[in-house]
Structures are given as C-alpha cells and as structure tokens.
Amino acid sequence: MENNEALIIQILAHRNAAQLKLIRETYAATYGEDLLKDLDSELWSDFQRALLLWTLDPTERDAYLVNEANKQLTSSNWVIMEIACTRSSNDLFLVRKEYHARYKRSLEEDVAYHTTGDYRKQLLVPLVSAFRYEGDEVNMMLAKSEAKILHEKICDKAYNHEEVIRILTTRSKAQINATLNQYNSQFGNAINKDLKSDPKDDYLSLLRATIKCLTRPEKYFEKTLRLAINKLGKDEWALTRVVVTQAEVNMQCIKEEYHKRNSVPLERAIAGDTSGDYENLLLALIGHEDA
C-alpha cells in the first residue's frame, strides 16, 4: 500500500462509520489483508493512532479505548467514565458485547479488577453496567425529593453514599437534569460547586466530571480539549480521543462551546498545537459535519 497520507486523509476523514466499514470490507476482499493492519504497519505516531481510531467502528473503538484504559498500571478512570456517561444506553450495551467478544472477558470485570476503593465499588462499575431510560419524561416530585437527598449527603460529606451513586448511575439523563435543576433552585448552588470542598480529591473530581458528562457533555469535552491543547491533559492523547469519538456525534456543539469559553475557534487552537498530517486529519474530522 503506497504511503500517501494526504490521499488517505482525503478518502477516510470524510466518510461516516458505515462507509468506513464498507471500505474495510472491500479492501480485505480485494487484497486479502486487513486495512487496519496495513495502516498500522505503514504510518506512525499521533497521525497513525488517530487514523486507526477513526477507521474503527464506533462500538469497536469504545471497546478498544476501555481496554487501553484498563491496561494502564492504574486504570484511566476518566476515559471509562466518559464512555459510560456520554454514550446512549444501547450504544453502551453494544460496547459491552463487543468487549466481551473481542477480549474474552466482561468489561465490568476488567473495570472492577483495575480500579480500587470508591472508584470501583461506588462509581465506575455501576456506570459501565447501566442501562438508563432514554426518554424525555421526568417526575418532578422525584426530582425535588432526590435533590434534597443529594444535598443532605453532600452537606454530610458522604460523597460515596449509596443514594448519591444510585441516583447518578440509574436515573435517566433527563431525570438527572431535572433533579440538578431542583438542587440549584432549592439550595442556591450548582451541585458541582458544592462538590469542590476539596479540589485535590481525585474521587470528587471524577464525580464532578461524571455529572458534567451526564448533563452537559459539550462542556466536559470542551474542557478536556482545552487541557489537552494546553498540555495539562489527564492523558497524553485526549485530543485525539475526543476529536475522533465526537466527530460524528456532538462536534458542532463542542466547537461552539470551545469558541465561547476560549475566544478562539477550535480549528485555530488545534492548528497551533499540532502539525503535518496529524493536524490535517484532526482539522478534517472537526469539519466532518460540513463535509
């Protein structure tokens, strides 16, 4: 396969998941080889990794990302939380199935094995195991009562209390939004402000990020991109992960949020932080919706 990165970007960066799958199947039938293996052998570094991630089916990609997080010496909790909280219930179910088939283990058992304490027992395993209701219906009486429960537990600093975890890991996103709006109205503070009692507490940081992912994912992804571009990210390839996983999902909202928060278009920020084929691929992907 001729090593022509510009042509590869032109062909692959402007295709959706179904088209990419067809390209992979056609390539395998024509040349008797897996396109992913060919790409893996001929390209390199950040560009290679971004292209490989993009070429994967979204379900395969998420299973791969969780497995990569689990393989780290201490699990990359934020990546696992991000996938569990920003995918639909059905998509997360399919990721669990794909993980099971590909790695011959359950996603839940690997997350449980690679995490400890509050992370495992209280938060991550329930999050990846969830199958939330996806509808828009909300119960306002329930929202009021559960806002009160959350406030009581936070005032008691019982951040890992089973009721806090139950609400965040089982309620629909619409119901959680209604509950947190009630929290704000009843107690005069956004819940994440009340969860900043110890800014250096890793569990509280993850809990705040969980709430942001469930309620305002574009704000979570904007911050992740900002930290990655400013070289303060929690993992070295957050920029690649967010751009690739969100290109077909929520990129326009993320771009608007980024511009509003930083007074700089995301395109310019990426161009200033990257170069070469890697830059060209990322810029093609964040403009994907307009392609």
- Consult the annotation and say whether 222 binds a ligand: no
* Alpha helices per DSSP H over 43-121: 45-55, 58-71, 77-86, 89-103, 107-114, 117-118
Per-residue confidence in pLDDT tens, the chain, 291 aa? 445 777 677 766 667 777 777 777 777 788 777 766 655 555 557 887 888 888 889 999 999 899 988 887 555 789 999 999 999 999 999 999 999 999 999 999 999 998 887 776 689 999 999 999 999 999 999 999 999 999 999 999 999 999 999 999 999 999 999 999 999 999 999 999 999 988 788 899 999 999 999 999 999 999 999 999 987 654 558 999 999 999 999 999 999 999 999 999 999 999 988 888 899 999 999 984 443
In this prediction, residue 288 carries a pLDDT of: 46
The DSSP code for 290 is G
Q: Which residues contact 166 (CB under 8 A, 6 or more apart)?
A: none
- Consult the annotation and say whether 170 binds a ligand: no
In this prediction, residue 1 carries a pLDDT of: 41
User: What are the chain's domains?
Assistant: 140-215 (1.10.220.10), 217-291 (1.10.220.10)
How far apart, in whole angstroms, are the C-alpha atoms of residue 144 and residue 161? 18
- Consult the annotation and say whether 233 binds a ligand: yes
- Consult the annotation and say whether 231 binds a ligand: yes
In this prediction, residue 291 carries a pLDDT of: 38
- Consult the annotation and say whether 84 binds a ligand: no
Q: Which of 85, 197, 182, 195 is nearest to 139 (CA)?
A: 182
Q: Which of 219, 241, 210 is nearest to 66 (CA)?
A: 241
